[in-house]
Amino acid sequence: MHRYHHRYTLPAIITLLILAIGIMIWGFFNSRQNTTVPRGANMSVLGVELDQNVDNVDLHELQKNGISFVYLRSTQGKSYFDDNYLIYRDRIQGTQLSYGSIITFSNESSVKDQFDYFEKKVGSQSGNLPIMIVPAIATNDPKFWRQMGQFSQLLVNTGKKVLIAGNYTQKKYFAPGTQFLYTGSSLKDKKEYAFWCYTQDGRVKNVQNLNDNVTMFAYIGSMATYQQRYAAQITQ
C-alpha cells in the first residue's frame, strides 16, 4: 500500500480542497448579492425596466448603485396604461437618470388607435431615450410587422427616435435610422443593435424591491457615446 512520506502532505491537500470549496461557495452567494451584469461583455451603461409590478423603487439609490437609465412601461393597445408610469416619470425628474417609454404593440388594435392612445396618455414627455416598441406576440407575419412599421413612423413623424425589440432582419419595415434592441442570451451581430436586454431575472444591489426578476438593459457602446447622445439633457 502506498504511504505518504511527508506527514503534512495529506492534511495540506485536504485543507486546500476545503479552502477551494469555501471560495466557490462564497463566490456563488456573493454573486447573487451583486448587480447582475452582462456575461462576456464589457458594458458599463446599464438600465432597468420599471412597471406596475414594482412599487416604491428609490431612484436615487438606483442611480447611486450604478444604473444609468430606466425604461418605463407605458401603453399596450388602445386601453392599457401602466399604473406606475406617471409616478416614476415624475420621480425621475429629481435624478440624473435618463429614461424612455415602452410601448407594447398589439395585434388586436389599429395602428391609429394605439398611436392616439399613447399620445393621450404619454404625449411629448416620453423621455430622452428612444421609444421602445415591443411586439405583443412572437410572429414573423409580414402584416403585423408592416403595421408595427406604420406605428413606428407615426412616432418618428413627431420627432421621436424609435427602438424596436426585435431582430434587425425586420428593418425593411422601418424608417432608416430605426434602432434595434437585442434580446438573446449572448450578444451577436453587435454592430446591428443599439441596446441589449440581457436578462429578465436580474437584480440591483442595495435597491429595495429590485432583488430579483428585474428586466435589465445595457447600452451597446461606450460611456462617452452614451453621455453624448442621452445623458446631456432630459426631454420634457
pLDDT of residue 7: 59
Spatial separation of the C-alpha atoms in residues 113 and 79, rounded to whole Å: 9
pLDDT of residue 43: 81
pLDDT of residue 234: 45
* pLDDT tens by residue, the chain, 236 residues: 455 455 556 666 666 666 555 444 444 444 446 999 998 667 889 999 999 999 999 999 999 999 999 999 999 999 999 999 999 999 999 899 999 999 999 999 999 999 999 999 999 999 999 999 999 999 999 999 999 999 999 999 999 999 999 999 999 999 999 999 999 877 877 889 999 999 999 999 999 999 999 999 999 998 999 999 997 544 43
Which residues fall within 8 angstroms of residue 200, CB to CB, at 6 or more apart? 213, 214, 215, 216
As to burial, measured by CB atoms within 10 angstroms (0-12 exposed, 13-18 middle, 19+ buried), residue 10 is exposed
Spatial separation of the C-alpha atoms in residues 28 and 24, rounded to whole Å: 6
Structural contact between residues 179 and 131, judged by C-beta atoms closer than 8 angstroms:
no
Q: Which domains does the chain have, with CATH numbers?
A: 33-231 (3.20.20.80)
The dihedrals phi and psi of 184, each to the nearest 5 degrees, come to: -80, 170
Q: What is the pTM of this model?
A: 0.84
- pLDDT 10s digits, 98-153: 999 999 999 999 999 999 999 999 999 999 999 999 999 999 999 999 999 999 99
Q: Evaluate the CA torsion angle 74, 79, 83, 87 in order and state its sign.
A: positive
pLDDT of residue 168: 93
